[in-house]
Structure 1
Amino acid sequence: MNFPATRMRRLRRTDAIRSLVRETHLHPGAFIYPLFICPGEGVRKEISSMPGCFNLSIDEAVKEAEACAALGIGGLLLFGLPAEKDEQATGAWAADGIVQTALRAFKSNRKLDSLVQIADVCLCEYTSHGHCGIVARDGDHYEIENDSSVALIAKTAASLAAAGADIVAPSDMMDGRIAAIREALDADGHQQTPILSYASKFASAFYGPFREAADSAPQFGDRRSYQMDGANLREAMREIELDIVEGADMLLMKPAMPYLDVIREARQRFDLPMGAYQVSGEFSMLHAAFQRGWLEPERAMMESLLSIRRAGADFIVTYFAKDAAKLLG
């Protein structure tokens, strides 16, 4: 039987050859690990829907951050659970807010110098109603106000930068937020603080476990009037273009695996550094399969991360960061 001269399997024969010709690579420095910071001391409360993830008091979060630094992980994405909530999301922008306090603790610890400290900028964890902005009510009708919400979001970003955030990451999807944040940062002397914009954040069913972790589920309605419709790819590109024009330095796509086509399209069109967020539902869905023996944990975890990198993400926000870094170590 005659074979062609080209045999594709020649370069698959051994681990060493496969490694040599591998096109897409993972490394711990490209992982961002989310942390959920809560009040108290010595608190390490496991999130029931996210195995191995915890709500952490600041002292425990420091220990977790030290472990991440030792593994070579690139950075942290910080979320806060305030002691109290109100309709103005006061805890989001207060100088002594939970994330602001955590940032100061992290910045005073030299063991954490290798970690980029990214502060999520949103109001949903801090509002009594769980929405990402100010709610205007008229009887049974309600609307999430855009411009008044943007004013508080910009104030929050400036507060987080003042507390030591290396990067601020607005995740609210309000119109005009990037320009407002850039103006607020510059006015406060934080011209060097980059903005990582959740430039195309979709109204996804895959956020469910996060809402337990961050205690941020809306008390009424949903977020479809401000987060994107999952059917719209062209609209996502418009959102990204607008954020770049307004001054975004980096882009973050969310979710990741159900939207790999959006990541790929954005990578082909735009030159900014771009990450993707492998969200809580993606993580928990895989863990459910692991627990039932349906998927091989290490292989499925790494394959999921490779798919996101292959689609075009420069870095990945993932709850698998520590486990993946250990395998790559």
Structure 2
Amino acid sequence: MSNPVIRPRRLRTTPALRRLASEIRVHPAELVLPMFVREGDATMPIQSMPGVVQHSIDSARRAVVAAAEAGIGGVMLFGVPEVRDATGTGATDPNGILNLATRALVDEIGDALVVQTDLCLDEFTDHGHCGVLASDGRVDNDATLLRYRDMALAQANAGSALLGLSGMMDGQVAAVRETLDGAGYEDTAVLAYSAKYASAYYGPFREAVASTLTGNRRTYQLDPANRREGVREAQIDIDEVADIVMVKPAGSYLDVLAEVAGMSPVPVWAYQVSGEYSMIEAAAAQGWIDRRRAVEESVLSIRRAGADAVLTYWAVELATWLKEERA
């Protein structure tokens, strides 16, 4: 008697079988929506990111309610101030746009989702870098850590439940954790942007935050060629007691994401960045790809590589689709 024919296709024959055999699923609670909040009363569309806007505080309130109703896990807030200076003083001003928006959204939504804040100086500095500049124009790592400590206190005091350390300064997790604990904010969580690469995919984000950057960030963000270095950075942040570590961008760094997920004892997140969003939107607008399928597949692939949660500009829309499918 010959051996039975191996037929993996049996588990693909019907939608019900495919659903039952599915290895990875995306749930709305695993999605985080990045949001931009500007000073002033008007919302402003972001031309390079169709469908995404700079919110006013009032429109951000409405958006966070919609996000909670969609069932997503959280929102990550980025501030867009009108005035910037060399040390980013607006980042630590209790009445600065990011801190005002944080208080407003926490008051609006309570514990229905996690209000998170970007802890970085780039949106607040007139030179657009993520830290304080030394006299020779280099980013001064240790002087920047002092500003991050002050930012951590300002954001925790505003009600942020999770601080997203995106500046890629050495020692930033340890500095922020020490400051938070010393001030009685032991329960405020720290998300370390551990493997954040110097990527071309951030282009539309620069418009979203009205970036003033000249030059580049290659002295502190990672070289796209380096996989092991990304894993090492994640291990350092874990050793410094990060609550969550992250890989950014997501789609072009799935190998790094998979390796970090394989070694990390803490949750691992990934950020599907502005360029990833805009490329799919642009191709879909031309009719070259099926938009919904491309969106779903792109986020599913990030989860498949090991991300426990995904920051994506499609969070609310995708969550709505997922709820419709379950219904």
Alignment TM-score, normalising by the size of structure 1: 0.96
Rounded to whole Å, the distance in 2 between the matches of 1:210 and 1:304 is 19
Q: Is the 8 A contact 1:66 1:112 kept in 2?
A: no
Q: Is the 8 A contact 1:169 1:197 kept in 2?
A: yes
- Does the residue aligned with 1:144 lie in a helix, a strand or coil? coil
Please show how residues 210-221 of structure 1 align to structure 2 within 5 Å. 210-218=205-213, 220-221=214-215
Match of residue 24 from structure 1 = 24
Gaps of 5+ in 1: none
- The answer to whether residue 35 in structure 2 is matched with residue 35 in structure 1 is yes
Match of residue 177 from structure 2 = 182
What is the letter of the counterpart of residue 145 of structure 1?
D
- The answer to whether residue 128 in structure 2 is matched with residue 130 in structure 1 is yes
- Find 1:145's aligned residue among 135, 140, 159: 140
Listed one character per residue, the Cα deviations across residues 109-140 of structure 1 (whole Å, up to 9, x for unaligned) are 2x4531101111000000000000111234xx
- Does the residue aligned with 1:134 lie in a helix, a strand or coil? coil
Q: Is the 8 A contact 2:126 2:212 kept in 1?
A: no
Q: State how many pairs are aligned.
A: 322
Gaps of 5+ in 2: none
- Find 2:244's aligned residue among 238, 250, 256: 250
- The answer to whether residue 320 in structure 2 is matched with residue 321 in structure 1 is no
Rounded to whole Å, the distance in 1 between the matches of 2:34 and 2:183 is 27
Please report how far the alpha carbon of residue 3 of structure 1 lies from its aligned counterpart in structure 2 after TM superposition: 8.1
Q: Which moved more, 1:231-240 or 1:118-127?
A: 231-240
Please report how far the alpha carbon of residue 6 of structure 1 lies from its aligned counterpart in structure 2 after TM superposition: 3.0
Please report how far the alpha carbon of residue 7 of structure 1 lies from its aligned counterpart in structure 2 after TM superposition: 1.5
Rounded to whole Å, the distance in 2 between the matches of 1:301 and 1:4 is 39
- Find 1:267's aligned residue among 261, 272, 277: 261
Match of residue 156 from structure 2 = 161
Q: Is the 8 A contact 1:28 1:73 kept in 2?
A: yes
Q: Which moved more, 1:111-120 or 1:262-271?
A: 111-120
Match of residue 306 from structure 1 = 300
Listed one character per residue, the Cα deviations across residues 1-24 of structure 1 (whole Å, up to 9, x for unaligned) are x88343111111111111111000
- Structure 1 runs of 4+ aligned residues shifted over 2 Å read 2-6
Rounded to whole Å, the distance in 2 between the matches of 1:285 and 1:242 is 33
What is the letter of the counterpart of residue 188 of structure 1?
A
What is the letter of the counterpart of residue 209 of structure 1?
P
Alignment TM-score, normalising by the size of structure 2: 0.96
Please report how far the alpha carbon of residue 217 of structure 1 lies from its aligned counterpart in structure 2 after TM superposition: 4.3
Listed one character per residue, the Cα deviations across residues 237-279 of structure 1 (whole Å, up to 9, x for unaligned) are 1111111111211011100000000000001111210110000
Match of residue 101 from structure 1 = 100
Rounded to whole Å, the distance in 2 between the matches of 1:258 and 1:289 is 17
Q: Percent same amino acid at aligned positions? A: 46
Rounded to whole Å, the distance in 2 between the matches of 1:60 and 1:112 is 17
Please show how residues 200-215 of structure 1 align to structure 2 within 5 Å. 200-215=195-210
Please report how far the alpha carbon of residue 158 of structure 1 lies from its aligned counterpart in structure 2 after TM superposition: 1.5
Rounded to whole Å, the distance in 2 between the matches of 1:97 and 1:26 is 35
Rounded to whole Å, the distance in 1 between the matches of 2:4 and 2:110 is 55
Match of residue 47 from structure 2 = 48
CA RMSD for the aligned pairs?
A: 1.2
Rounded to whole Å, the distance in 2 between the matches of 1:179 and 1:67 is 35
Rounded to whole Å, the distance in 2 between the matches of 1:309 and 1:319 is 15
